[in-house]
Structure 1
Amino acid sequence: MHKIEDRQDVRGWPAVVALAVATFTVVTSEMLPVGLLTPIGDALDVTEGTAGLSLTVTGLVAAVSAPLLIPAFGATDRRTVLGVLMAVLSLGNLLAAWSPSFAVMVAARVLVGLGVGGVWAIAGGLAARLAPPASAGPAMSLVFSGVAVASVLGVPTGTHLGELVGWRVSFVVVGGLALVVLLALVAVLPRLPVGGPVRLGGTVRLAGTRPVRTGLTVVVLLVVGHFAAYTYVRPVLEDVSGAHAGTIATLLLVYGVAGIAGNFAGGAGAARSPRATLLVVSGVLATTVALVPVVGTSVPVAAALLVVWGLAYGAVSVSTQTWLLAAAPGAHESASALFSGVFNGAIALGAFGGGLVVDGIGLTAVMWLGAAVAATALPVLVLGRAPAVR
């Protein structure tokens, strides 16, 4: 299996911050439909469940492309690769803004999925190369803070813009942001060569090792459970809590702020014990999602539940990535590719399964589905093999 260089002579926090902004942009791009499902569905004449496929398609493409793109990139400098991926991401968002039909929207979201899968596959493994050696853990937390900050600024801002000037403007703004990030990456990142290409066979073999397999299973369960519920959080809040559009944007902002705190808390905890951290995250996430249809019948209670939900889910990305990198110390880029592929595939599966439940049974049932799936991560964590963390 190819061993990736874990350190570069050129290191610096500005480069880590640039990566964090890149992860913010790709996650905002991927999640943007969450706060816009109702107007997208109305404009393109599809149901909310069908509109949710705009998220499913992106996750599915990212899942398939992530492990394939890394071998396809070969030994190309990763700064160049990141620039190309951000250009593809921008094009996808701008095409989504123009889309006259749902078919065009799906095509646009395929391009977004390619950008998402590639950036996620690279970013996690680069954090340790760019930061000072003693700061690899905080650097990874900072890179993955882009995931949580996207919930705080990206999705709520897109929702507000959708209410003020139309959902298409939200996609235009994110497409423009991707171009700005492309320029920033080129300006701030050092050259990021690799010693040689990553082989697909090595990545597949890595997935068969027990600690990696356990970690990937936990990723699937937590992310499927979360997105089965979270993809449809807007219609759930409208139906269960009686929240209006402006209030929902504020609630998503509250959720995202909590997610940032959860990201850094999860990163610190996972550096000491990924298993213990993820046990807490799994239990809290499952319980909170289950409580939404039971006690979240008023806006204040729904807000409190979203705070706890955000704290728990905010820790998922950095905790599971920490688990996988610790389980594959000599193959960080391959581990990141697996992580990206499985994570995004789980997003697609969660959004798709949630859409089936919403259209076939109802909004309350989708919360129960999400909670039940997330809860099954607990026995996997107890019985599976955790990596050794140095």
Structure 2
Amino acid sequence: MISLPALLAAFFAPLVVIAAGNLDRRWILCGLLGLLVIANIASALAPGMDWMLIARALVGFCMGGIWAVAGGLAARLVPAHAVGLATSIIFGGVAAASVLGVPLGALIGDFAGWRWAFGCMAIFSAGVLLIHLVAIPALPVHHSVTLRQFAEQFANRKLQAGLALTILLVAGHFMAFTFVRPLLLSVSGFDAQWIGALLFAYGVAGIIGNFLAGVIAARRTALTLVFISLGLLLAPLLFLTIGDSHMGGGIVLLAWGLAYGGVSVGLMTWMMKAAPHAVEVATALYVGVFNIGIFLGSWAGGQAVDRFGLATNLWLAAGLVTLALLLTFAIRSNGKKAQAICS
């Protein structure tokens, strides 16, 4: 239910941007939100697993399209000096959804049944659609996105580095975080009744991390990515060393949320700076690679846990994030060299 929408979002993000042509992006977003309402209603009413999978596939299509279009809108909605904060607000929604969606869905499901969890999502999506219709101005596009533009951006070295960093960070994170519940239960020794509250606290830390990273990344993007990578490396390593107690596990979880909260906005800021004249193309590629990272990380984590256990999986996840950290050092070093040459 998580991997399928993520994989489809990766596939559909570039296609939606190309198919949108010259259409006003406000109406593209509204259309996708309308489809999302329908997809969640279909999920709530699904008579069996076949219908449920079709409905979740439609969610994946909507996810990819909405994220690809909305991710780069900050520069079109606010003055240049406020783009960093606006991007943080947009991706604050991504951070909140990533970390609060599952516990809220589980809470609604426990109280009213799983169908109501999807029903509430349909109601929420309809509310967001209404807000868009009322508050978002016209967002005309004068030049449609083409396959040639995607090919050109694939040759963009800065964008290549950002996409490689995206898949390493996201896959490494989800490789470990997919199993955060069994980690908290079996390693830290928490009772099951505390998991929801712990994940909520993780979510709050993630939202704080999102805004901190957004403000700093607007000025020091490469340095922000270094610290995010370092935080995501320390999270699994600290879980292996001090995570075997309530206090240790709780502290590590909060630090983990703080670090991961900055991933979306930090990487998106890098993409916009790497391709300032092709933001929609860069965003679509970023969304695609990000969701491939979710799929690969969740899948690889499942394989590792089944074969080697939770602890080994944390070491493997840390190995992936180590590669990401080394890449951020290289990115920052190259940036300093470029500045020295220009000056």
Question: Do structure 1's residue 340 and structure 2's residue 340 form an aligned pair?
Answer: no
Are the equivalent residues in 2 in contact too, given 1:152–1:255 (CA < 8 A)?
A: yes
The CA distance in 1 between the partners of 2:93 and 2:318, in whole Å, is 25
Residue 193 of structure 1 is matched in structure 2 by 140
Q: Is the 8 A contact 1:261 1:314 kept in 2?
A: yes
The letter for the 1-side match of 2:11 is V
Please, which moves more after superposition, 227-236 or 135-144?
227-236
Aligned to 2:101: 154
Which of the numbers 286, 295, 314 marks the counterpart of 2:242?
Answer: 295
Give the deviation of 1:167 after TM superposition.
3.1
1:251 aligns with 2:195: no
* 8 Å contact kept, 2:41–2:122: yes
1:275-321 deviation per Cα after TM superposition (whole angstroms, max 9, x unaligned): 11111111111111222244222333211111100110011111111
Q: Distance in 1 between matches of 2:78 and 2:277?
A: 18
Distance in 2 of aligned mates of 1:367 and 1:241: 14
Superposed CA RMSD: 2.0
Identity of aligned residues (%): 43
Cα distance per residue 1:53-79 (max 9 Å; x no partner): x21111110111111110101111111
Q: What does 1:1-390 align with in structure 2 at a 5 Å threshold?
A: 54-151=1-98, 153-384=100-331, 385-386=334-335
**1:243 Cα deviation (Å)?**
2.6
After the TM superposition, which of the residue ranges 306-315 and 347-356 deviates more from structure 2?
347-356
Instruction: Give, in angstroms, the shift of residue 342 of structure 1.
Output: 0.9
Q: Which runs of 5+ in 1 are unaligned?
A: 1-53
Q: TM-score, normalised by structure 2?
A: 0.92
Q: Distance in 2 between matches of 1:152 and 1:59?
A: 15
C-alpha distance in 2 between matches for 1:303 and 1:269: 26
Distance 1:105 1:232, change over 3 A: farther
1:185 offset after TM fit, Å? Answer: 0.6
Does the 8 Å CA contact 1:98/1:168 hold for their aligned counterparts? yes
Contact 1:160-1:246 at 8 Å conserved across structures? no
Name structure 2 gaps, 5 residues minimum: none
8 Å contact from structure 2 (residues 95, 264) kept in 1: no
Change (3 A) 1:292 1:166: farther
Structure 1: distance between partners of 2:171 and 2:268 = 16
Q: Secondary structure at the match of 2:244?
A: coil
Contact 1:214 1:386 (C-alpha < 8 Å) held by counterparts: no
Provide the C-alpha distance between the structure 2 equivalents of 1:188 and 1:123, rounded to a whole number of angstroms.
14
The superposition leaves residues 166-216 of structure 1 with CA deviations (integer Å, 9 ceiling, x where unpaired) of 333222211221111111111111111100211122123202211000011
Matches of 1:100 and 1:357 in 2, distance apart? 34
SS of the aligned residue for 1:198 comes to coil
Residue 226 of structure 1 deviates from its aligned partner by: 0.8
